[in-house]
Each structure stands twice: as structure tokens, then as C-alpha cells.
Structure 1
Amino acid sequence: MDWTRYRFLSQWALPAPTAAVYDALERVEDYPRWWRQVREVNRVDDTTGVIRVRSLLPYDLTFTVHAVRRDPVDGVLEIRMSGDIEGWARWTVTAGGTGTLARYEQVVDVRKPLLRRFAVPGCPLFRANHRLMMRAGRRGLAALLQAV
């Protein structure tokens, strides 16, 4: 087992129209306004940016993202990441009940030396840290969408 490889899946049920959810998720530069763990987003060009995140544990992750797919018809946003983490992430936004279901999938390899060093004992903490970050993101996005 590779202790520095992570697969994550989160599903957010949101009480908003699918197009509004997709539009909010597509505007990555606005994430710090509603997702407090996304500390900084610096756009490099139309398809590339640098993101810094920090959740409960005392470490930042900084990585470059490059848009791979933007498909509002199918509700898919996909990126490739490199830096402290390398891999990919994908949002898939679909109608769900009276609102929208936003499905987040991520597969990454940790490259940050400190996190690699503590990969085995830290794995449960790193996973819990990610869950907390995703829970806060869902709450933040739900609040943003209700305010609109």
C-alpha cells in the first residue's frame, strides 16, 4: 500500500439550482470568500492557478492547478494538480431531489516532505483533516448560494 496516495470522495447535497452550483464551483478565485480553508488562489492565466489550503492541522499545501475539462452541459469541472500534492480532482454537478448534488473526487500523491515523512502514523489525521475541510466547504457554498 502506498501511504502517500489518497483517494477522496465527497458528495454535497445543495439546495440550489444546478447551474448556480456549477457557476460557483467554476469560479475558483472566489473560493476563499466562502471556503475558509482555501486560503489563497492566484490565477496565472485562463486555465492555470496556484492554490494554498490549510485546514485544522498546522500545515499548508500549495499546488498549481490546470483546468483539464470545463463542461457545463455535463456539469463536469476537472483539474490536474502539481506541487505539494500531485494528481487530479473532479466536480460532477447533477440535479438531485429538489436541489443539486455536487460530487467531488480526488486522487493525489503527497509530495510535501513533512507529510511524506509522517505518512503512516499521520494517515488517519490527514483523512480527518480532509473531511473537516470538505464539510466546511459544503456549508460555505450552501450559505453563499442561499444569499444569492
Structure 2
Amino acid sequence: MARTFAFAQSWSVAAPAADVAAVLVDLEWYPRWWPEVRAVAKLGPDTAWVRCRSVLPYTLDLVLDAVSRTPPVVEVAISGDLDGFARFTLVPEDGGTRLDFREEVEVGGALALASYVGRPVLTWNHARMMAGCRAGLSAELRRSSAAGR
């Protein structure tokens, strides 16, 4: 019994698309700037094991496989506690880059059961995770720019 979730949102950052892509494809550094990403281990050139935890007391174990590392699309296939994909499409705009985020995943097991009554809470939890991404990514891009990277 699998349950499907789809998420989409857009936001802008004050940095060129190439700089945004450089941060997004460097999975090993996510814990430095994305608070909900608790641990990352590189499993291969295009694969990483990732542990995520937002507000709810549940840690996701995921394996991310790079599908595209080349702007305008940065995308990973997701397996583990979730199965699906997450994609950022980077759109240059005046003063920076718009990130169009799309994620589609299936959940099984306890998460699927919880989603029958707790779907709004799980959706809220994901929104909190993505708020951490937005704030952390913007801060990381400012640090990189100030350091001249």
C-alpha cells in the first residue's frame, strides 16, 4: 500500500543560476546549510545516502541518485523511505535565479499508514523542511559570494 505525495513551489535567490547549481549538486555539504539534512555519505560519483528530519520525530533514510547535474535542471531520483524524484529547475531572472521545485514521491509502510489520517501534518512537515532549504540556500549563496567562490 503506497501513498503518493507531490510538492511544487517557486522562490528566488539573489545569485546566478550557475552558483545556485554548484551548491545544489554538492550533496556532501547539505548538512552545512540545510538544517533538516542531518547526514550525507557519498556512495559513488552520482549517489549519496542522506538522512533527513524536519519537525516530526521521524528520520528519513534516503538514497539520492543524480539524474541531471547540468542547469537548468538539477534532479535526483529518490529511493529508500521515499521513492520518486526531486527536481530544481533554475530560471535566470533579473537580480538572480528563480528556483522551480518539484517533488513526487511514494511512501510505504508506517508513513503510508500515517498519511491516511495525518496527510496535512506530513505536508506541513515537508513545508517546514523546504523553508529550511530556502533560508539555508540563500545564506550559503551569500557566504559563497562574500568568500569570492
State TM-score, norm by structure 2.
Answer: 0.91
Partner of 2:88: 91
Given that 2:6 and 2:103 are in contact with CA atoms closer than 8 Å, whether structure 1 keeps it comes out as: yes
For structure 1, which runs of at least 5 residues remain unmatched after alignment?
none
Q: Does 1:105 align with 2:102?
A: yes
Query: 3-state DSSP class of the match of 1:36?
Result: coil
Paired with 2:11 and 2:116, the residues of 1 have a C-alpha distance of 29
Partner of 1:145: 141
Partner of 1:49: 48
Query: 3-state DSSP class of the match of 1:39?
Result: strand
Query: What per-residue deviation string (whole Å, max 9, x for no partner) do you get for residues 53-108 of structure 1?
Result: 00001101111111112223xx2111111110001111111112311111111100
Paired with 1:79 and 1:58, the residues of 2 have a C-alpha distance of 25
Identity %: 37
Paired with 2:83 and 2:64, the residues of 1 have a C-alpha distance of 9
Given that 1:3 and 1:120 are in contact with CA atoms closer than 8 Å, whether structure 2 keeps it comes out as: no
Higher mean C-alpha deviation, range 53-62 or range 9-18: 9-18
1:132: Cα distance to partner?
Answer: 0.9
State TM-score, norm by structure 1.
Answer: 0.92
Please tell me the root mean square deviation across aligned C-alpha atoms, in Å.
1.4
Paired with 2:135 and 2:126, the residues of 1 have a C-alpha distance of 14
Paired with 2:2 and 2:53, the residues of 1 have a C-alpha distance of 20
